[in-house]
Amino acid sequence: MKSLLPVGAAAALAAAFNTPIAAVLFSLEEVIGDLHAPLLGSVVLSSATSWIVLHLVLGDEPLFHVPAYHLIHPVEFAVYAVLGLVGGLVSVSFVKMLLWMRARVLKFPPNTGWVHPVAGGVIVGLFGWFIPEVLGVGYMYVGDALNGRMAFKFMALLVVLKVIATASSYASGNAGGIFGPSLFMGAMLGGAVGSAAHSVLPQYTADVGAYALVGMGTTFAGIVRVPLTSVIMIFEMTRDYTIIVPLMISNLVSFYISYRFQRTPIYEALAHQLGIHLPSAATRQAVSGFRVSSAVRSADGAAPMPAGENFPHVHADHGLDIALHRMGISGLKELPVVSRMMSLVWKASSRLTTYCAFTGCLKNRNAKKTPISDINAFLAAS
């Protein structure tokens, strides 16, 4: 099951956003937490297959169509850094608001569970009653922002309303995610910052659409905390490579601000609120150094192992993950630690049918202790 999670996540993201490369990176960067994971081949195959099916059904079209980007003046890099700063602050505000709301909702008694989605729906419904653009994923309005067809004040208003609406919907248990809204927030935020910059420095800044495009990756990197994935995702969504450098600058600033004020990533923090504490990459790396030999104990009083060659066992040089896995599939709380030399004895002869080799102890079917010298003599004679 653990191995299927990143594979399924890659397939879903590749089809939902038409981004097969970003889907692979997200599964490795966020779901697994290791870019050198052994599941890389399965994740790539899953993402590619999903993308092929998508193109066979819907055709070859990018998710968003954007005008060509051109760097007008080097001063724009400073504007993109400011966009990263603002995007990081917006990302932190959204994450903290969502976690605060969800923590309050989880404190209510269980018998009030039906009230939570009603309250969240009322808040989002009121926003949508007056400003329908805040509802849904809003990809149509994102396209308008990318092509410079939205006003500054309206985009700034949509950023605020989308942050509150998304946090209220998610915290109350209603439908809605984080991926799509983060792109919407970023497009509106980037468009607002770009409009302000263009009104102050019209001859030194590009069109508003370029800033809206960079803003999408900025908030995604700040909220989800995957800067590498966000750069590749925006490139795949728009197929515009010329915006990569400004996107990297803005994403880096946003990621730093988000990490500085909210150390725990959003998905990990949400899991902690439910009492789920998954091991971090550093923990997994530390645990991987432990071996069964560090946890083995004496076999005094242990029952003889069943006859046959495939009984559940581990070797002293196995990792603890292998031991836990074999305990799980066998349903046993204890496993014999068999030396590899004893495995050779087992396969060499059928005269001795059961062995259980612990620290210095070898037992046959009659539970008679056999010295190591006798084992060596047996091996030589076989």
Yes or no: say if 209 and 66 are a contact pair by the CB < 8 Å rule. yes
Q: What single letter denotes the amino acid at residue 51?
A: W
The 3-state DSSP class for residue 357 equals: coil
Domain boundaries, the chain: 4-61, 76-273, 291-381
CA dihedral 120, 122, 124, 128 (to 10 degrees): 170
CA atoms within 13 A on the CB side of 26: 28
The fold for domain 76-273 equals: Clc chloride channel (1.10.3080)
What average pLDDT does range 242-269 have in this prediction?
A: 90
Residue 118 has pLDDT above 70, yes or no: yes
E strand or H helix at 160: helix 152-171
Residue 255 has pLDDT above 80, yes or no: yes
309 pLDDT band, cuts 50/70/90, is low
What average pLDDT does range 162-185 have in this prediction?
A: 89
CB atoms within 10 A of CB 147: 16
CA atoms within 13 A on the CB side of 326: 16
Yes or no: say if 339 and 379 are a contact pair by the CB < 8 Å rule. no
Yes or no: say if 84 and 189 are a contact pair by the CB < 8 Å rule. no
Residue 168 has pLDDT above 70, yes or no: yes
Alpha carbon 146 to its chain centroid, in Å, reads 27
- φ and ψ at 358, to 5 degrees? -110, -155
Our CA angle for 373, 374, 377, nearest 5°, is: 90
339 pLDDT band, cuts 50/70/90, is confident
Residue 85 has pLDDT above 60, yes or no: yes
What pLDDT, on a 0 to 100 scale, did the predictor assign at position 92? 95
% residues pLDDT > 90 (the chain): 31
Yes or no: say if 292 and 337 are a contact pair by the CB < 8 Å rule. yes
Highest mean pLDDT of the ranges 135-139, 294-298, 325-329: 135-139
Structure-token pair, residue 21: 């490369």
Q: Please tell me the distance from the alpha carbon of residue 99 to that of residue 89, in angstroms, as a whole number.
A: 15
Query: Mind listing the pLDDT tens digit for each residue in 50-61?
Result: 999 988 888 777
What pLDDT, on a 0 to 100 scale, did the predictor assign at position 285? 63
Look up the pTM and report it. Answer: 0.74
What pLDDT, on a 0 to 100 scale, did the predictor assign at position 329? 83
Residue 85, burial from CB neighbour count under 10 angstroms (0-12, 13-18, 19+): middle
Structure-token pair, residue 12: 């879903």
Yes or no: say if 47 and 14 are a contact pair by the CB < 8 Å rule. yes
99 pLDDT band, cuts 50/70/90, is very high
